[in-house]
Amino acid sequence: MEVGQTHVEHAEITPELVREFAKVSGDYNPIHLDEEFARTTPFGRPIAHGLLSGALLSGIMGTRFPGRGTVLLETSLLFKRPVFVGEKIEFRLRVEHVRPDKPIVTIACQIFNSQGELTAEGETVVKTS
Amino acid sequence: MEVGQTHVEHAEITPELVREFAKVSGDYNPIHLDEEFARTTPFGRPIAHGLLSGALLSGIMGTRFPGRGTVLLETSLLFKRPVFVGEKIEFRLRVEHVRPDKPIVTIACQIFNSQGELTAEGETVVKTS
């Protein structure tokens, strides 16, 4: 990994994926799952769990960029806009720092919705294998 | 929510839960799933995805503390020690800050393994409903 290296990929936040994340996390908050409840919120319709984006980011880092054997040491995410259930999102990753002494890399990530609006951004420090 | 309010709960990181998180996140990194591969790493056996702890924390916050309607605005987690597949972990949450003008609350979380060792800690800013 070198500073400046980038990686882009896309994911669709299907209702099935949101239901599966609810099951694994135990997060059955109706704002994510119940259209009627979501209509009573400022969002007007169901939004994806913020940490579903985080989970997909873990998937990218643990299998493709950097790839297998990667271990997360530290992660942060700032949620700027909701991701609505059914939306397609884009992950843009960039290597920000590489430790000279150890295989430890800082990767910045921005997540955009299909209108090109930033939905979340953050940094993750990983140990590569 | 008031500053100093706390909430404690437990979860078991079963192999099934780790496989389900792999499915939803796409994170099939063998360090989490493949005993043979994990034996070749410094951990010696499969470790849970760091963000599985994050997902379970999302479940706690979205359904019980603060509860339904909660939306994550910002989250950070620092992973101190691995959580091994099969371990029981304890989440300790504490309200650190409450905005006087808006229903926005900062919650600190520490996650311990069954030996009482800190595995992860972080802060999440949420909007309560």
Cα separation, B33 vs B35, in Å, equals 6
Give the start-to-end residue ranges of the domains of chain A.
6-14+48-127
Q: Which of B111, B109, B127 is nearest to B119 (CA)?
A: B111
Tell me: domain B6-14+48-127, CATH 3.10.129.10, correct?
Answer: yes
Cα separation, A21 vs B33, in Å, equals 18
Mean pLDDT by 10 residues, chain A (129 residues): 97 97 95 94 94 96 93 97 97 98 97 97 95
Amino acid identity of residue A88, one-letter, is K
Q: CA B99 → CA A32, A78, A113, B3, B93, distances in Å?
A: 24, 18, 29, 10, 18
Nearest to A78 among B74, B78, B129 (CB): B74
Interface of chain B against chain A, CB under 8 Å? 17, 20-21, 23-32, 37, 41, 47, 49-52, 54-63, 68-79, 82, 129
Q: Model-level pTM?
A: 0.94
pLDDT band at B97 (very low <50, low <70, confident <90, very high): very high
Average pLDDT over every residue of B18-44: 94
